Amino acid sequence: MSTIDLLRHGEPRGGVRYRGDGVDDPLSELGWAQMWAAVAQTSDWTHVVTSPLRRCRDFAEVIAKRSDLPLVVDPRLREVGFGSWEGRRHDEIRDADPQAYVAFFRDAVNHRPPGAEPLDRFYARVREGILAIFDEHPEGHVLLVCHLGVIRSAIALALEMPLATFYRMHTPYAGRIRLRRTVRGIELWLDQ
């Protein structure tokens, strides 16, 4: 059985705002503390995989080194691009264009921010990355340090859910989920 623990990055510097693949803030002091707290009870990983963005990669490099585990940086697992929303606060976007803001959350496939990465393309690359981890580690237990969009993609993959509802899922900074590939398929575990 192959297992992937997906760990969202901790709080980045710069406050709450849209951070896709175009904004690469490092973790704040609180973000580092959140990450260490999230991994305090687990030590049986065989590999670490990470997004190339600093808010994930910096922690992944440290935990891989401390745990003497192999580390892979996979660009397929970077966050979705938010186009013109990159780096902007949620309330700023909502106040500037309330209709576009609401439409985005109701149907994220057909109502992307201008210049944003198409959601189906993002999902396809993340899906490919996750399936590659399963294929490369058929009996392994991998820690994947990633983004909320990657976690949403993992949930969509396991539940075969429509992408239009993608932004109705949330997990906090340093939140975790687990995927297992068994003979039954890919299973989602919410409580480790």
Output the tens digit of pLDDT for each of the chain's 192 residues.
Answer: 899 999 999 999 998 999 999 999 999 999 999 999 999 987 799 999 999 999 999 999 999 999 999 999 999 999 999 999 999 999 999 999 999 999 999 999 999 999 999 999 999 999 999 999 999 999 999 999 999 999 999 999 999 999 988 998 899 999 999 999 999 999 999 865
Superfamily holding 2-189: Phosphoglycerate mutase-like (3.40.50.1240)
What are the helix (H) ranges across the chain?
29-39, 54-67, 90-96, 98-106, 119-136, 148-159
Give me the residue spans of the domains in the chain: 2-189
Is 137 annotated as catalytic? no
Catalytic residue among 11, 29, 61, 79: 79
Is 61 annotated as catalytic? no
Kindly report the pTM of this predicted structure: 0.96
In three-state secondary structure terms, 192 is coil
